[in-house]
């Protein structure tokens, strides 16, 4: 599973943005890749092994601009509430900024869309339950999400 998650991560282009200051956004050519990779990524995430889940989440965050709702729901599925990923120090550096961007750029998705609200809450709750300070701050700042 780790090999599959890593290969998809590198093939997606998600790693390319880490090597330079310029982060290339995925384009339409990535759409078919995203559709085919999603079931494999979610299967890998079910292992609940933090390094594997991290590659899955990084890939999904990179591919998110192709379909924001699909990415948010997939990230929520990948981050199991009972898993250890939210406790991983690297995880919050990817997930919390992603959640903040969703609130800033896709407010409708995380505040009005039923599935989007549930996914956002699940992700934020996992990190808040893990005691992540940024997640707790975000939860208190946007308390309306939890009503």
Cβ pair 58, 74 in contact under 8 A: no
Instruction: State pLDDT tens for residues 97-116.
Output: 999 999 999 999 998 999 99
Structure tokens at 105: 């750029």
Global pTM value? 0.88
What pLDDT score was predicted for residue 105? 94
Is the pLDDT reported for residue 145 higher than 60? Answer: no
d(Cα 136, Cα 133) in Å, to the nearest integer?
5
Distance of alpha carbon 46 from alpha carbon 43, whole angstroms? 5
Cβ atoms 52, 44 nearer than 8 A: yes
Render pLDDT for 25-58 as a digit per residue (tens, 0 to 9).
Answer: 777 788 999 999 999 999 999 998 999 999 999 9
Mean pLDDT score across all residues of the chain: 88
Lowest mean pLDDT among 93-97, 124-128, 143-147: 143-147
Q: What is the mean pLDDT of residues 140-147?
A: 65
Q: pLDDT at position 20, please?
A: 55
* Token duo for residue 3: 């090999």
Nearest to 138 by CA among 114, 103, 109: 103
């Amino acid at each position: 599973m780790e090999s599959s998650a890593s290969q998809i991560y590198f093939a997606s282009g998600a790693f390319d943005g880490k090597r330079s200051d310029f982060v290339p956004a995925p384009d339409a050519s990535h759409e078919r890749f995203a559709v085919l990779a999603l079931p494999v990524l979610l299967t890998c995430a079910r292992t609940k092994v933090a390094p594997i889940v991290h590659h899955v989440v990084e890939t999904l965050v990179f591919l998110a601009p192709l379909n924001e709702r699909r990415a948010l729901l997939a990230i929520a599925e990948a981050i199991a509430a009972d898993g250890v990923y939210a406790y991983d120090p690297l995880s919050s550096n990817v997930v919390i900024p992603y959640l903040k961007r969703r609130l800033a750029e896709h407010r409708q998705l995380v505040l009005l869309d039923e599935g989007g609200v549930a996914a956002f809450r699940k992700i934020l709750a996992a990190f808040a339950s893990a005691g992540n300070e940024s997640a707790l701050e975000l939860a208190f700042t946007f308390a309306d999400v939890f009503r």
